[in-house]
Amino acid sequence: MAKDQQELMKEAAWKACELVDDGMVVGLGTGRTAAHAVRRIGEMVKGGIRVVGIPTSEATGRLAVEVGIEVSTLDEHDSVDLTIDGADEVTPELDLIKGLGGALLREKIIARHTRREIIVADASKAVERLGTRAPLPVEVLRFGHRATAREIAHLGCEPVLRMTGAKPFVTDGGNYTYDCRFPEGIHEARRTESEMNNIPGVVENGLFLGLAKDAILAGEDGLRILRR
């Protein structure tokens, strides 16, 4: 019987966990796929390895504690040996869009201080150009957020305030998120990243460029591994 997609995603997450070694500081990603990795690392800890986890969100931190992983912060550790996380889009060069799970700011901070970032994603997330399937999440301050969104729109996208029911979605940092659709995708990702972050009120955006070292993509044909 063919494996369903969730079984493949779990298999991909477990494959990434093969890189976790005794004594490592490990960044713990956010989202359903990353949760498979967190639970697997919890099993490895129960099996006797010593791991310190640095979660990318409050939800991941709670899960890590639940499965028995020691949790710490970047204030206590200068760098992270390995981070396992998901992505919303992945290019062949391993540039990413992340943030639909609502944790892009902490994810990017941890990724920036990680020696090896490995991405686990559904094969459908593979794209040739960023922004062609997923919107670009942009975290903004609540103060003047609509004015910030108007400036964001000048970069050629349509920003939509993310909602939870009738209220705006609030990140762990207490900010709002705009999901920005680019009609033809993002043609110059590095320029867009810089221009986006130069807008007053923008805290961070979901372009993760040059940060990932590996990706494991799970599809109906099995697992495909990309390396940079």
Residue with tokens 């639940």: 66
- For domain 5-125+209-227, is the CATH number 3.90.1150.10? no
Q: What would the CATH number be for the domain defined by 136-204?
A: 3.30.70.260
Q: What is the pLDDT of residues 172-183, one digit of tens each?
A: 999 999 999 999
C-alpha pair distances (Å), 97 with each of 60, 87, 106, 118, 140: 19, 6, 14, 14, 17
Half-sphere exposure of 111 (CA within 13 A, CB side): 29
Query: Annotated catalytic sites, by residue?
Result: 107
Kindly tell me if the per-residue pLDDT of 3 is higher than 90.
no
Which segments of the chain belong to CATH 3.30.70.260?
A: 136-204
Quick one: angle between helices 32-46 and 58-66, nearest 10? 30
What does pTM read for this prediction? 0.95
Q: What is the pLDDT of residues 129-149, one digit of tens each?
A: 999 999 999 999 999 999 999
What angle (nearest 5°) sits at the alpha carbon of residue 224, between those of residues 46 and 51? Answer: 20
1 pLDDT tier (thresholds 50, 70, 90): very low
Q: What is the pLDDT of residues 61-93, one digit of tens each?
A: 999 999 999 999 999 999 999 999 999 999 999
Query: DSSP states of the chain as a string?
Result: -PPPHHHHHHHHHHHHHTT--TTEEEEE--SHHHHHHHHHHHHHHHTT--EEEEESSHHHHHHHHHTT-EE--TTT-S-EEEEEE--SEE-TT--EE--TTS-HHHHHHHHHTEEEEEEEEEGGGB-SSTTSSS-EEEEE-STTHHHHHHHHHTTS-EEEE-EETTEE---TTS-EEEEEE-TT--S-HHHHHHHHHTSTTEEEESEE-S--SEEEEEETTEEEEEE-
Percent of the chain with pLDDT over 70: 99
Which segments of the chain belong to CATH 3.40.50.1360?
A: 5-125+209-227
